[in-house]
Amino acid sequence: MSRMTMIEAIRSAMDVAMGRDDNVVVFGEDVGYFGGVFRCTQGLQQKYGSSRCFDTPISELGIVGAAIGMAAYGLRPCVEVQFADYVYPAYDQIVSEAARLRYRSNGEFTCPIVIRMPTGGGIFGGQTHSQSPEALFTHVSGLKVVVPSNPRDAKGLLIAAIEDPDPVIFLEPKRLYNGPFDGHHERPVTPWSRHSLGEVPDGHYATPLGQAEIRRHGSDATILAYGTMVYVAEAAAEETGIDAEIIDLRTLLPLDLDAIVASVSRTGRCVIVHEATLTSGFGAELAALVQQHCFYQLEAPIARVTGWDTPYPHAQEWDYFPGPARVGQALRDVMEA
């Protein structure tokens, strides 16, 4: 075991995958010589050469389009889009080509690509460096969507994603790169070196896609969260004194519905938390599934705590960001309903 930040864990996953399989290639804007804007690919070009880890022009459409062609040819590209906010020019390639290739070729071709993207806010990135577009991808048949919340999961899930035969959208909460964040921006940052989930196994291991993890056992209510919101949920439970069970979804597609149903059926109450905007956010899908499968066990209406239906503001970052006070109020509301 080694102590790692999420950046180091992601780098380790790509290093392990590239070492095991010569078909794994890594590319994107500034990922080669520079090592990526967050340094997630630092050292990979020096170790594996410029034909397996290289820089591209500033063209997300070109990055993803080239990756799809390489995948059809037999390679396994793991590409970086510098911020999730930049992915929109590549959206047609992802939806119309990558997600459909297996179906449209009747299984003759697959598209084993991973598209890595830093996501979410909490860094004063403003409207073009803070978005959470996961719902745009969970709506698309043929894609898998992953959102890790810690270094240990990030490495295992990324290795599993690279080894998967189908396209995976791998969303990395950038506020968690260097440590867990509970929404209390006024407090000192806790590094991963002081958190148990900063202990990462060395070498190869794969965390199966589609398996949620219970981060906190409880009996009063269930909180469904992913990414940064897992730690916000933990803070809210501690500060309210409500014995909430917190489920870290880890992968949104495939979704671990069994874990969700088991927890909500036991607690009878459900709070859903994500950074993305409220309307048509992934929380709406979660709420519909909980209502469908846990209707007779629910003791209160399902609550959602999310970003607001506005562009992500710079000056009002912490009014937009779903913090522990808002999650705590939702917990109190479902307990009093």
Catalytic residues: 129
Distance of alpha carbon 229 from alpha carbon 208, whole angstroms? 21
Exposure of 95 by Cβ count < 10 A (0-12 exposed, 13-18 middle, 19+ buried)?
A: middle
Distance of alpha carbon 288 from alpha carbon 302, whole angstroms? 9
- Return the closest-CA partner of residue 122 out of 328, 307, 327, 335: 307
Helices 324-336 and 229-240, packing angle to 10 deg = 60
Distance of alpha carbon 191 from alpha carbon 224, whole angstroms? 24
Distance of alpha carbon 98 from alpha carbon 119, whole angstroms? 21
- Residue 153 tokens, joined: 């999961």
CB atoms within 10 A of CB 125: 19
The amino acid at 201: P
Distance of alpha carbon 98 from alpha carbon 112, whole angstroms? 9
Distance of alpha carbon 56 from alpha carbon 29, whole angstroms? 5
- Return the closest-CA partner of residue 81 out of 169, 4, 153, 176: 169
Write the DSSP string, 182-248: -S-TTSPPPPGGGSGGGEE-SS---PPTT--EEEE--SSEEEEE-TTHHHHHHHHHHHHT--EEEEE
Q: What is the largest CA-CA distance in the chain?
A: 60
Judge if the upstream peptide bond of residue 201 is cis by omega within 30 degrees of 0.
no
